Amino acid sequence: MTESFRRRRAFSLIELLVVMGIIAVLIGLLFPALARARQQAKRVQCLSQLHQLGVALTGYAGANHGRYPSFGNWEVYGGDGTGEDDDADLGWAERLEPHTGRATAGLYRCPAFPPETDFNYFLSGKWASVRGRDYVMQTDVRRASEFILAGECTHQRLYPPPAGMARYKLYTNDCDKDDVMWKCLSFSGEEFGWTAHVGGNNVLFGDGHAATCARFDHHYMTYDPQTGGVDWNQIVPP
């Protein structure tokens, strides 16, 4: 009786295969959900870092007569003006260190970017640059909730290979990314553009809030701190 009971309770090969098939289907359904959850977590972490950057920028401006940090060329963190460091000046991320701590500690590294890219955020500079300045003043910003103050730098020309396509800089990361020459906030489909997250790229606005944007939308975004709806390529000298 016992032997017969054991035989009846044993799984057949077909039953095992069916169970394994069900498990495989469940895993196939679960993995995409887990992948989406990881992507969402990276997007949220990046937004949090941009919010911290906004707090630091406000603190810096408050300590410097309303002036946001100045920007320049390709600045290597800790560089002395030799090699790929364009000059011995500080990058804006280095200038912010009294308010952020060490710039290489991870605040500027979006988790969605390749790990070899240490600095993934840019500071808006084109509007000031066409006016002969290398900084923006808080008093310049009259459309704070729309003005793109900073954000994810997704233009591949601003990263060295293999992660990026910088033409002249081959080995070092720029800790002074700005959009004077290149449209840093570039999306997939734009020249040298890339979309970092599902849903878009993260942007820090002049009032300190950060948001994920699928594209430039002139209804609520502007590169001109005083005029609404102005895209990067529409910035011209006054």
For residue range 140-161, list pLDDT tens digits in order.
999 999 999 999 999 999 999 9
- Is the predicted pLDDT of residue 18 greater than 60, yes or no? yes
- Is the predicted pLDDT of residue 196 greater than 80, yes or no? yes
Query: 166-176: buried (b, 16+ CB within 10 Å) or exposed (e) per residue?
Result: beebeebbbbb
Which range is least confidently modeled, 33-47, 52-66, 104-118, 142-156? 33-47
pLDDT score at 1: 44
Write down the pTM of the prediction.
0.86
Per-residue confidence band for 11, with pLDDT thresholds at 50, 70 and 90: low
pLDDT score at 30: 63
- Is the predicted pLDDT of residue 185 greater than 90, yes or no? yes
- Looking at the chain, the whole-number percentage of residues with pLDDT higher than 70 is 86
Domain residues for the domain of 28 are 2-234
Provide the number of structural domains found in the chain.
1
- Is the predicted pLDDT of residue 58 greater than 70, yes or no? yes
Asked if 70 and 79 touch (Cβ cutoff 8 Å), the reply is: no
How does pLDDT run across 204-215, given as a tens digit for each residue? 999 999 999 999
CA dist 238 and 227 (Å) reads 12
pLDDT score at 38: 87
